[in-house]
């Protein structure tokens, strides 16, 4: 039996795992301006599923298991992951279109985001890159 979808979803949705999904959900709304749309937790308070509105897109997140470690923790004991993370360009991450990269970057910086590359104008448009509280990489680009 297929459940009836009551919400419209885009064709592609990033799904990210966080050690502390509840903290990540709150941080992503504060730092990047996303809007919480769904939050589900189990009896222990672990985030089992959440959805954020990111403009016309959606980002899903959860805390999969108690022993999960995000990218930042993984880099602490994996030399290969640590080596590629020294390059500020997005190797794997999420691209989000926004209206104002300068303003968005300052908001993210104020919330504690690690800014990987300052706002810049490129042939593709204005953009900057940031890392969230658990090391997931994001690129924000002006429409």
Cα→Cα distances 92→6, 16, 71, 113, Å:
31, 11, 11, 17
Instruction: Provide the 10 A C-beta neighbour count for residue 73.
Output: 14
pLDDT at 34: 98
Give the structural domain span for 71. Answer: 15-79+89-142
Specify the residue for token string 């459940």.
3
- Between 65 and 28, the more confident residue is 28
pLDDT at 41: 96
- How many domains does the chain contain in total? 1
Give, rounded to a whole angstrom, the gap between the first and last alpha carbons of the chain.
Answer: 40
Q: Give me 141's structure tokens.
A: 């680009």
Strands 15-17 and 57-62: parallel
pLDDT at 6: 62
Domain membership flag for residue 132: yes
pTM above the 0.85 mark? yes
| CB 70 within 8 Å of CB 23 | no
DSSP bridge pairs for 36:
52
Domain membership flag for residue 8: no
CATH number at 61 reads: 3.10.180.10
């Amino acid at each position: 039996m297929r459940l009836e979808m009551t919400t419209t979803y885009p064709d592609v949705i990033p799904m990210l795992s966080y050690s502390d999904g509840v903290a990540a959900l709150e941080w992503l709304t504060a730092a990047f301006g996303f809007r919480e749309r769904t939050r589900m937790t189990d009896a222990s308070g672990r985030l089992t599923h959440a959805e954020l509105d990111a403009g016309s897109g959606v980002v899903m997140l959860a805390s999969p298991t108690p022993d999960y470690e995000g990218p930042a923790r993984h880099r602490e004991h994996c030399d290969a992951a640590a080596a590629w993370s020294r390059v500020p360009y997005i190797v794997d991450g999420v691209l989000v279109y926004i209206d104002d990269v300068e303003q968005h970057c300052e908001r993210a910086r104020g919330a504690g985001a690690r800014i990987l590359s300052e706002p810049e104008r490129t042939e593709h448009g204005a953009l900057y890159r940031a890392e969230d509280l658990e090391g997931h990489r994001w690129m924000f680009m002006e429409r």
